[in-house]
Amino acid sequence: MSQTLTIAPQSGGRVPSFDIGDRLRKARVTAGLEQSDLSELTGISVTSISAAEKGKTAPRRSTLILWAAATGVDIQWLREGRTSRYSVDA
């Protein structure tokens, strides 16, 4: 898992930066899912889930949509590491 710290002038501090594989894994783990659970929920093979989390393959948009729905994570965060500036938790 690769992590870098980036200086974010607008926030006045250092924030971790994660690649897409890191974000995919964090979304799954935070949702309390094993790779096999995510596979059952989405129909994505465990092999594909593992490869995406390791950064060996770039997931298609359809895969990201399924992943986001199954984990409850914003798809923009999965893709880009950021969410809508004005998002509000209900």
- Tens of pLDDT along 47-56? 999 999 999 9
Q: Where residue 71 sits, what CATH number does that domain have?
A: 1.10.260.40
Look at residue 26 and tell me whether its pLDDT is greater than 70.
yes
Query: Residue 44: inside a domain, yes or no?
Result: yes
Cα 18 from Cα 26, distance rounded (Å): 10
- How far apart are alpha carbons 90 and 85 in whole angstroms? 15
Work out the mean pLDDT of the chain and round it to a whole number.
86
**N- to C-terminal Cα distance for the chain?**
31
Whether 75 is in a domain gets the answer yes
Quick one: pLDDT at residue 6? Answer: 54
What is the pTM for the complete model shown? 0.74
Task: Look at residue 14 and tell me if it is in a domain.
Answer: no
Q: Phi/psi of residue 86, each to 5°? A: -110, 25
pLDDT at 3 over 80: no
Q: Measured between alpha carbons, how far is 8 from 6 in angstroms, rounded to an integer?
A: 6
Total structural domains within the chain: 1
C-alpha 17/C-alpha 21 separation (Å) is 12
Instruction: Report CA 66 to chain centroid distance, whole Å.
Output: 11
Q: Which residue range is the domain that position 38 belongs to? A: 3-8+19-80
